[in-house]
Structure 1
Amino acid sequence: MRVVRFAIPAIGVYLCSPMLSMIDTATVGLFCGTLQQAALNPAVMIIDYSARTMSFLYTGTTNMIATSKQKKTADEIKDSFIGSLRFAFLIGTGLGGLILLTSKRMLVPLIGNDTIDTEVIRAAWKYVAIRAFGMPAAAMIGTSQAACLGLQDNKTPFQIIITAAVMNLVLDIALVGRKIPWVGGTAGAAWATTASQYFALGLFFYKFTSSTRRQQQPAAKGKQAIHKRFVGRKIEMESFFALPCKKTIQDFSPYIIPVTTTQIGRCSTYIAMGHVVSSTLDTASMAAQQIITSIFYTLIPIGDSCSLAAQSFLPSIISAASDSNTNTDTDTTADTTNTTTTTQQQHNTSSAKSQSEKPVANSTIIDMNQTIKNIYKVAGCLGIFLSLIAISIPFACPLLTSDTAVTSIVQSVVPIMFALLSTHGFFCASEGILLGLRDLKFLGRIYGIFFVVVPILMLRLKYIAKVGATNNIISLLSVWNVFLGYQTFRILAFLSRVFILRERFSNKASDKNGNGHGESPMA
């Protein structure tokens, strides 16, 4: 029940960006037509996939806060959080500037179709240029969400994201239908999303810095009440915009390469999919692809909540095991250096310590195994829920487009969506467990392989379409079939890795039981 109570509200954490993009897709499709909606396919691709390269900020913040809350004071956690926000602002600003400088040149090669309507290119560029200004807010929102989750406060992010989504919808309705070039259409959708992001960031700062009557908590609750007010004071603007300290960068350094490699490996697949669709298929297929990906990205956070739960619960278990081993090693060293103790006394002391350590090691094994089992149970239930939504997609099409050709293409992919969404919870749970156990090297390496192999398979479809007798050989369904094979392999690989790590943890903890001492179970 702890996992369920955490996972359900945590859905809103990953829901922010895809929900805003989904609202943009729906309003543009209904108010502006198929061409403008097709333009969102490459535009959203650039924005959302670029934003994923900042994921190391969120993974690092969640893990550091979840681990440090067992050991550090409120002031230390507050300083770590402010340092994370500074680093996030720096990364977000740099990424936004990079997008502005390069995205205009990237659009045509990304689409890969020289005969595409110029209106699609112009509409896509407007959306990208405006959304780039929201990157600093996106980085700090993600970091704030991650800090809340590290403290197991999932209600604050959920409430803020829902509020921001409502604001985005209102602004979309007000702006998208206008005929002013840089206000209506895709530009209006981009302004609505960017404004909503900064509004959400303002709500996070208000939550973190405003005084509250609930800040006086019973002493027994200790660090569990830190999330009520863990910044504790107004953030001074000059101090906030200072460069992050060396310690903050060092804290994030273990996550930068593995997590970024993981996200690039993921994004390469989606980019290859978008390129194949836009360069091989027609405008209706581009619009259908944007609708399908918007639905997919809006639903998969339901499974991603299992990943967040694993990243929030498992680090403290592993940290407790490491602390136990550290204390054991220290005590053993002290015993061996005491030359005045008799051999019999040493033997008795060692036996007593061994007996006292066994319950600690056994408890760690039980805690980890039970947590993993519960996360998978929740993942299975969420998979059933997602599968029911997947078969309801045809009924949602009238809310997303008025083009019957686009609707027909979307409906052809529904069986693939059913297979993907029904199993997505197990994939997310497995990946979250690997992140919680800090198996970053494995994730970095396997996504490095995906980065090369999966785009090759996707581009093979483009080649087949060009050499075939007719372009109808390849359809949007063909692209999503390749993705289904990729997802199936990921699930099997990650489940196997979780099983191996769990057995390794149990074996090393068992060795500690038998010997009375040993190294960290995850070493």
Structure 2
Amino acid sequence: DRQVEGKPRTAKMLIGSMQLSGYAGTFLGATLIIFSKVLLKAIIGNDALDPDVFLAAMKYVCIRALGMPAAVILGSAQAACLGMQDIRSPLYVLFAAAVVNLFGDMLFVGSTNPWIGGAAGAAWATVFSQYAALFMFLKWLRSKPNPKPVPTPIPAEPNVMNLTDAIMELTGPSSSKGSSRRKNFSQSLRSFGNWSSKKVNGAGKPLFSRRSKAVKKKVTKEEDEPYFSTRGFLSGRFKKRNLFTFPPKDVTNEFAPYVFPVTVTSVGRVSGYVAMSHVVSSALGTVGMAAQQVIVSVFYCLTPIADSLGLTAQSFVPGLVEKKKSPERSAALKQTLINLNKAGFLFGAAMVSAIACLPLVSKFFTTDPNVIAQVNSVVPMLSVFFTVHAMFCGTEGFLLGRKDLGFLSKMYAGFFVVVPWCLLRVKRAALAGANVNLATVWTVFTGYQLVRVSSWFIRARFLLKRSERKSNAIEGDMLNVDNQSP
């Protein structure tokens, strides 16, 4: 209902997605709290861990789990805004949440209370910022902006011109004043006469040709569409208490086909990171864990740059896919993929430049020379990873925009098995005394990245070729019908 006033179907789906997200977030949060001890032991994989450290990790996970409902609802609302091509609203809300998180860290982290200070304080600050962002987002969606007052135009005083003197100067005798203006006027008349005769003979240019083209261009130029904002989009259609009700059955049925492939895709995407954390904590010792923490901090600072391309693709590609199949549609999809890859290449170059500076700044993260050496040893693998990461995200967003969830879910289901298996072989080799370090782990992970990006490129290219064939076939059938018609 893009062209429908008020977008009622979109509003209904947005409300339903937030309601389902609340229940999904509650389920995930409860699962994390109940199984936090088991999950942490499985990830850490090291029985020699200090009990105080394990207890701090337990508290952090349980506190963060309390914010899971807000986090999932925020994700759905943000995705809906991006789907409606409103990129500003999530930016405003998430920036305000970041400010709340900052002040929360300043308030809680320094506390000596074990349930409020330290890592627990950082967790509480994040949870409070998530709920603050949720309430701000709901307020934004439900409150329409005040209409701008239209200023009353003040009638301007008429300008009175005296044309009598000008006419008398141009038509008066030679002895009167204004002789220079009469001379210029006469020359203009003669040149106009010469131009008219050339026009009659077929020479010369059309009258006011440049101006006519400019006016025509100005008239035919399509005006820019006003920027769409989701502020007040749910005004009069949603109340806060509706967030705790279950959505209608027809809305639930709309989301049902996506539950399994999206869940498999998400679990498969996360499994590699979980397996990597397990291998590092259980087999590479304290130095490896410290170096991994530095690398992961830099890693998660850079990945949002690439993620923006995926979000952009998911916002704009569906609009192209919904159009009628035609060569123009296929060309637009192809050009979109090319543009995403161009932007991905530039983003990748920027991220690799940042990674290249890591050996220069690693001393600011730690003073241990062994940790610094392990961090620097991973720089080549990180450079390869980030060279293609933005292009990977853009292409994955392109596939998601085309709703190619079947392919993605099957691929990530395979990665869910293969990637942990490869990383666990690294752990086995390390425990057996082989020369295995952090660079080995990231070599496996970089190989996983290269396989992903290659598979995504091949799939996107295949879909474009298939779309072009169908469009050409449709166009050929239409031409045959036109030729056969009397």
Q: TM-score range by the shorter chain?
A: 0.7 to 0.9
1:186-197, aligned counterparts within 5 Å? 186-197=119-130
- Aligned position for 1:385: 350
**8 A contact 1:74–1:223 mirrored in 2:** no
- Aligned position for 1:46: none
1:262-273, aligned counterparts within 5 Å? 262-273=265-276
Q: Distance in 2 between matches of 1:215 and 1:94?
A: 44
Structure 1 residue 94, shift from structure 2 partner: 1.0
Q: Distance in 1 between matches of 2:408 and 2:46?
A: 34
Q: Distance in 2 between matches of 1:152 and 1:250?
A: 25
From 409, 428, 436, the equivalent of 2:393 is 428
From 76, 90, 93, the equivalent of 2:23 is 90
1:283-362, aligned counterparts within 5 Å? 283-321=286-324, 361-362=326-327
Q: Distance in 2 between matches of 1:73 and 1:259?
A: 29
The farther-off stretch of 259-268 and 507-516 is 259-268
Q: Distance in 2 between matches of 1:401 and 1:184?
A: 23
Q: Distance in 2 between matches of 1:241 and 1:438?
A: 29
**8 A contact 1:214–1:228 mirrored in 2:** no
**8 A contact 1:379–1:429 mirrored in 2:** yes
| TM-score between the two structures when normalised by the length of structure 1 | 0.73
- Aligned position for 1:467: 432
Structure 1 residue 150, shift from structure 2 partner: 0.7
Q: Distance in 2 between matches of 1:254 and 1:216?
A: 47
Deviations 1:353-374 (A, max 9, x none): xxxxxxxx12212221222221
**8 A contact 2:317–2:401 mirrored in 1:** yes
**8 A contact 1:70–1:316 mirrored in 2:** no
**8 A contact 1:87–1:244 mirrored in 2:** yes
**8 A contact 1:176–1:184 mirrored in 2:** yes
Q: Does the C-alpha gap of structure 1 residues 315 and 71 become closer, same or farther in structure 2, counting only changes over 3 Å?
A: farther
Q: Does the C-alpha gap of structure 1 residues 417 and 214 become closer, same or farther in structure 2, counting only changes over 3 Å?
A: farther
Deviations 1:463-485 (A, max 9, x none): 1112226xxx1111111110011
1:113-152, aligned counterparts within 5 Å? 113-152=46-85
Structure 1 residue 71, shift from structure 2 partner: 5.6
Percent identity for Structure 1 against Structure 2: 40
Structure 1 residue 517, shift from structure 2 partner: 9.2
Structure 1 residue 216, shift from structure 2 partner: 10
Deviations 1:377-410 (A, max 9, x none): 1111111111122123345546655655444432
For residue 322 of structure 2, give the secondary structure of its aligned residue in structure 1: helix
Matched, 1:443 2:443: no
1:463-502, aligned counterparts within 5 Å? 463-468=428-433, 473-502=435-464
Deviations 1:207-265 (A, max 9, x none): 11223125999xx9989636242112373233331112212222212221112111111
Deviations 1:297-347 (A, max 9, x none): 23112111111121111111111126xxxxxxxxxxxxxxxxxxxxxxxxx
Deviations 1:21-78 (A, max 9, x none): xxxxxxxxxxxxxxxxxxxxxxxxxxxxxxxxxxxxxxxxxxxxxxx43567433322
Structure 1 residue 426, shift from structure 2 partner: 1.0
For residue 262 of structure 2, what is the amino acid of its counterpart? V
**8 A contact 1:210–1:234 mirrored in 2:** no
Q: Distance in 2 between matches of 1:499 and 1:211?
A: 43
Matched, 1:245 2:248: yes
Q: Distance in 2 between matches of 1:256 and 1:149?
A: 20
For residue 410 of structure 2, what is the amino acid of its counterpart? R
Q: Distance in 1 between matches of 2:232 and 2:149?
A: 10
Q: Does the C-alpha gap of structure 1 residues 386 and 152 become closer, same or farther in structure 2, counting only changes over 3 Å?
A: same
- Aligned position for 2:135: 202
Task: List alignment gaps of at least 5 residues for structure 2.
Answer: 151-222, 481-486
Q: Distance in 1 between matches of 2:479 and 2:294?
A: 56
Matched, 1:229 2:232: yes
Deviations 1:175-233 (A, max 9, x none): 2233221111211111111111111112212211223125999xx99896362421123
For residue 342 of structure 2, what is the amino acid of its counterpart? K
Q: Distance in 2 between matches of 1:112 and 1:145?
A: 36
- Aligned position for 1:110: 43
For residue 140 of structure 2, give the secondary structure of its aligned residue in structure 1: helix
- Aligned position for 2:262: 259
**8 A contact 1:215–1:228 mirrored in 2:** no
Q: Does the C-alpha gap of structure 1 residues 85 and 415 become closer, same or farther in structure 2, counting only changes over 3 Å?
A: same
Cα RMSD (Å): 2.4
Structure 1 residue 509, shift from structure 2 partner: 0.4
Q: Distance in 2 between matches of 1:264 and 1:130?
A: 22
From 440, 465, 472, the equivalent of 1:503 is 465
Structure 1 residue 100, shift from structure 2 partner: 0.6
| Matched length | 408
Q: Does the C-alpha gap of structure 1 residues 141 and 411 become closer, same or farther in structure 2, counting only changes over 3 Å?
A: same
Greater RCO, 1 or 2 (C-alpha within 8 Å, sep 6+):
1
From 315, 339, 343, the equivalent of 1:374 is 339
For residue 321 of structure 1, give the secondary structure of its aligned residue in structure 2: coil
Q: Distance in 1 between matches of 2:239 and 2:149?
A: 24
Deviations 1:68-123 (A, max 9, x none): 43567433322221111111111111111111111112211221111112122111
Q: Does the C-alpha gap of structure 1 residues 223 and 250 become closer, same or farther in structure 2, counting only changes over 3 Å?
A: farther
Matched, 1:281 2:269: no
Which has the larger Rg? 2
From 89, 95, 98, the equivalent of 1:162 is 95
Deviations 1:101-153 (A, max 9, x none): 11112211221111112122111101001000000110111111111101111
Q: Does the C-alpha gap of structure 1 residues 279 and 411 become closer, same or farther in structure 2, counting only changes over 3 Å?
A: same
